[in-house]
Amino acid sequence: MSENFKQPVLIIGAGPGGSALLEILSQEVDISVLGIIDTNLDAPGIKLARFLGIMVYADIEDALKLSGHCIVFNMTHDEHLADVAAGYVGVGSVLGGQEAHFFWKIITRLQAVKNQLLENQVRMQAVLHNIGESIISITQTGIIEDVNPATAVLFGYTKNELIDQPVTMLMSEPYKSEHDSYLANYKRTGEKKVIGQYREVVGKHKDGSEFQIELNVNEMELSGSKHFVGLVRDITARKVAENKLTQLAMYDQLTGLPNRTNFFGTLSRSLAQAQRTNSCVALLFIDLDGFKAVNDALGHNMGDQVLMEAAQRLKNCIRESDISARIGGDEFTVILNNLNHNDDASIVADKIIQAINKTIVHNHNTCHVGASIGIAIYPEHATDINVLINTADKAMYCAKEKGKNTYVLGTKSVL
């Protein structure tokens, strides 16, 4: 039988039953309705047939002669009409009475299911088309099968540019290589390292720009073949908001230096690292000498300028691997990591004092401040974080008692 063959059908009776059957069969691609027969030319099935461009007949024998061999549905209660049709197409090709009614009910139910499936498909397509998140269908080898419009908007490609391309084209390194290794490992071992997990990775736009995305990949099986569906969300705005909150919570808003909370966490990590690597860490407590007098005489604006300038000078005196922080008022700290020699802390302290001593100019006002510095070294002076902080703090007050603008090492004699 040819793939293009359509089963020819003739309907006897254009009443409600025949009309409903005509409506159903006319929508089937594998069926060709040759015509409908009824002596009542005002019957609903006759009107529908005319609307659909299907032949209408008042005489059954005329219809059968013109139609040739076909399946005949007798939707009337007249068995004589079924006998007439059987004389032309054979008894086996005529469905009538209970047979036709049963067939009609099956077709009606199938049509209802089909319509429901189509409706669900249309609804799902509408959701996928309008959803804000990017949805990407991927083969088990990591090739893009399909994308929704949000994907094209997010990454700057057209749909056709993405289909049949590796999904890693949308990622930056090292996430690109990691994704390939995760996928290969999953296919080899079944271990779901990233399947079903939300991951934050860096996406790559068509123009080469990078942006942060949240990626969730899940597995599905269709016709015995594994596929993956990726849900991608642009989290740039969220990360900006998170960074702002982190900045507020962990950094001094005037100087931009780490604040007291940040300082304690950083010092704890530095000491843990020093313990693992058997290295030394120096902690400097710094108090600005003469700051209160400047603040009182020249106002808070000048005082703020002194603090900002002092913070910048501190940063300029240390390495990138070192940390400076403002822990309150005119008090600052410096963490010197991986000291080669303990004397290096004294060298840095002296460098800081010289930098802080330089004239500060702001809005035609000039002023000078000094720096009293206490130094405690891990593990020489203390191995406990609280003891180390207390040692540096007391050494700083000893520096003030010695005339200010100097530094003191936190030896046992100062405690």
Question: Looking at the predicted structure, is the pLDDT value of residue 95 above 90?
Answer: no
pTM tops 0.85, yes or no: no
Flag the least confident range among 19-28, 155-164, 257-266: 19-28
- Interval 323-371: pLDDT, tens: 999 999 999 999 999 998 888 999 999 999 999 999 999 888 999 999 9
Query: Residue 55: is its pLDDT beyond 80?
Result: yes
The dihedrals phi and psi of 364, each to the nearest 5 degrees, come to 70, 5
pLDDT in tens, 142-175: 888 888 888 888 899 998 999 999 888 888 888 8
Q: Which of 122-131, 200-209, 232-241, 367-376 has the lowest mean pLDDT?
A: 122-131
Q: Which of 38, 322, 330, 393 is catalytic?
A: 330
* Number of other CB atoms surrounding residue 180 within 10 Å: 15
Q: Which residue has the tokens 């808003």?
A: 253
In angstroms, rounded to a whole number, what is the distance separating the alpha carbons of residues 249 and 197?
Answer: 29
Peptide bond into 8 cis (omega under 30): no
Q: Is 330 tagged catalytic?
A: yes
In this structure, what are the phi and psi dihedrals at residue 378, rounded to the nearest 5 degrees? -95, 130
Q: What are the tokens at 53?
A: 């461009």
Distance of CA 89 to the CA centre of its chain: 64
Average pLDDT over residues 183-196: 72
What mean pLDDT is predicted for residues 384-392?
95
